[in-house]
Amino acid sequence: MPISSRMKVSPNDVDLPDLFRQAMSEVALAVHVLSTCGPAGEGAMTASSVCSVSLVPPTLLACVSHSSRMNAKLKENGLACVNTLAVEHIDVAEACANLKGKSGNEELKSSNWVRGDGFSCPFLRSAIFSCEGRIHSVSEVATHTVFFIEVQTIRAGLPQADPLIWHRRGFSSATGC
């Protein structure tokens, strides 16, 4: 069913989750890769549900599906790094979403990823920026866990780069107009 600005919606006459999915696909979102490391091992996943929460202390949130392998890893490791992607990182986004046959763990073995330089988790060398911190709390909401990450380390990799955008179920650029 197409989205109409005049459509009246009640839970009884439409498939509400389907309509919600369509509505959310109209929202343009920046694309990030969450990386982690620790006792549960390294991991990486593509995530668009990332946003800033607080400036002092610097805090981000990320929503991660219970069905994702990264969910348990993040909880056990207690550490996450948000790597914000540029348009040139479509391959990284696809790998870390387990699209096109490559996995996040395979992607982490590539030379795109650096260990050290003040970070505990692997970070993407050419990310627009990478923000790493401790997971100070989580909140379980239906199918997802909301992770609150208190940022302790920030690195600007490509601060002037064109950000990678997820919009209408596809990748695009933010500076196309």
Assess contact for 83 and 32: CB atoms under 8 A: yes
Residue 46 binds ligand FMN (CB under 6 A): yes
Task: Give buried/exposed letters for 56-95 (b at 16+ CB in 10 A, else e).
Answer: eeebbbbbbeeebbbbebbeebbbbbbbbbbbebeebbbb
Considering the complex, what minimum distance in angstroms separates the CB of residue 121 from ligand FMN? Answer: 15
Assess contact for 77 and 38: CB atoms under 8 A: yes
Residue 61 binds ligand FMN (CB under 6 A): no
Residue 49 binds ligand FMN (CB under 6 A): yes
Among 64, 95, 135, 158, binds ligand FMN (CB under 6 A): 64
Which one, 1 or 28, has the nearer CB to ligand FMN?
28
Beta partners for residue 144, in sequence order: 65, 141
Which one, 37 or 93, has the nearer CB to ligand FMN?
93
Chain residues that interact with ligand FMN, rule: CB under 6 A: 31, 45-49, 63-65, 68-70, 93, 97-98, 104, 166
